[in-house]
Structure 1
């Protein structure tokens, strides 16, 4: 079986010093493709600087809502240059986050809309982020959806209504180790069965969201792509699918969404 981890924060403080080992562990676990997320343009640039050493690594380029206050008109030109890199397969991670509000909501909406426009203009899929902002997020995506090649709502942990709104927009849905948490993941464990086969993707969002039921737990308490098969096993059980079937359908979805 082969797996793709569609969301890894590879340059986070917990992983940046151990990229070689992290990717080796992933490969040994059957995770043959890793997508490294960019949270801002500096991180996108840094990822591209190391990508030559890891030719199998795929990248995104974009501005996370936490960094939306840094958005300015010159960012458009810089982002356009960054998405030309051959390893960049999506714009993102971008969207809205009204839980943290590290940037003003007005700035978040402006940066998000600019990236939606770029995705349409350059025919690039999107890796989307939404937290406690669906009332604004869904209408914004809806205005562009029929012109977008595709998008994944990454790290979905929302409600039944929020899932349905995303599916109505024909978005892919990224499922993390949140589903392995018997306390916080109860609703998600029920909702995962509602995601159509052709819209499901898997991710770790590492180094965050270490699966709560992972045994033995790593001493570092750090999540990494090598734990994706553990998440996949839980998803397969909940959906009454074999792991082989889940691997095949999620790999097909990765190729379709990211135009691989």
Structure 2
């Protein structure tokens, strides 16, 4: 299994501070060769782009403000995100969206600054890297307002139901699946939902260092998710979908390269 791409890696997280280079090299040994570093606010988006620019054709990044940070946004934030987005290594606007599970930012501000980032992606003709948790209807309705934007959107770290997945697919979105599917308790909805995701609309990710898979035969010594576990996640997805893992890997790789233009 070669040439896998991790579309969601929080490489600038403090837990990777001492071994960022090593974890990329470890992942390459198992066929994970390209990585997209997630930006979650202006500062982290700047850091991600600065780091990714040192490793062309291996590392890429996104430029966005996570709904948790929507309360920090203003017009200048959008100006800075646009400036970052014009760097060669930046391949999407996001991580942006709505999170009504924790409501770290007021819902009205989440909607306001999410829509501002949808408009930014539309203006720059860039993909959208989306976050949605317990806010399906509102996020769906905002995307519906913009012709063609859904086909350039991936719902990152999808953990919803089969019907929610179908709604996003019908809208034209891609779906990003993480090791959440490897959790035999919390991941049951997702294990069912992948049955309605066409292989040509699927992407894969770790969201490392978060969401370490729960179904390893031997539990890793470090309770930290890493991109080297992406093949394990892919194998679990393939099993749930009833598809050959090697064939799925080829399709997912094609989807990702075409979507992010990498």
> Which TM-score band (shorter chain)?
over 0.9
- Please give the secondary structure, in 1, of the residue aligned with 2:96: strand
Shift of 1:149: 5.6
What secondary structure does 1:144 align onto?
A: coil
Partner of 1:10: 11
Contact preservation (8 Å) 2:91, 2:260: yes
* SS class of match (2:5): strand
Q: Secondary structure at the match of 1:208?
A: coil
CA distance in 1 between partners of 2:38 and 2:159 (Å):
18
Say if 2:160 and 2:193, in contact at 8 Å, map to a contact too: no
TM-score, scaled to structure 2? 0.96
Query: Which whole-Å deviations, capped at 9, do the CAs of 1:19-63 have from their partners, x for residues lacking one?
Result: 111111111111011110000010011112222432210100100
Cα shift readout 1:60-82 (whole Å, capped 9, x = no counterpart): 01000010011101112111110
Distance (Å, rounded) in 2 between the aligned partners of 1:111 and 1:175? 25
User: Of residues 131, 144, 150 in structure 2, which corresponds to 1:129?
Assistant: 131
Match of 1:60, SS state, is strand
* Unpaired stretches in structure 2, ≥5 consecutive residues: none
Higher relative contact order (CA 8 A, sep 6+): 1
Taking the TM superposition and a 5 Å limit, the aligned residue runs for 1:16-27 are 16-27=17-28
The number of aligned residues is 260
Q: Identify the residue that residue 108 of structure 2 maps to in structure 1.
A: 106
Q: Distance in 1 between matches of 2:203 and 2:59?
A: 17
Asked whether the 8 Å contact 1:65–1:112 carries over to 2, the reply is yes
Q: Compute the displacement of 1:220 (Å).
A: 1.8
Question: What is aligned with 1:39?
Answer: 40
Q: Distance in 2 between matches of 1:171 and 1:52?
A: 28
Quote the RMSD (CA, aligned, Å): 1.3
- Indicate conservation of the 8 Å contact 1:124/1:148, yes or no: no
Question: After superposition, where does 1:99-248 map in structure 2 within 5 Å?
Answer: 99-147=101-149, 150-248=152-250
Contact 1:22 1:224 in 2 (8 A): yes
1:256 pairs with 2:258: yes
On the 8 A contact 1:93/1:127 being kept in 2, the answer is yes
What is the alpha-carbon distance in structure 1 between the residues aligned to residue 40 and residue 128 of structure 2?
13
SS in 2 for 1:207: coil
Listed one character per residue, the Cα deviations across residues 213-242 of structure 1 (whole Å, up to 9, x for unaligned) are 123222220001000000111111222222
Structure 1, unmatched stretches of 5+, are none
Give the alignment of 1:55-70 within 5 angstroms: 55=56, 56-70=58-72
Matched position secondary structure for 1:17: coil
Give deviations 1:127-171, integer Å, cap 9, x for gaps.
000001112111001111424660100111101221111111110
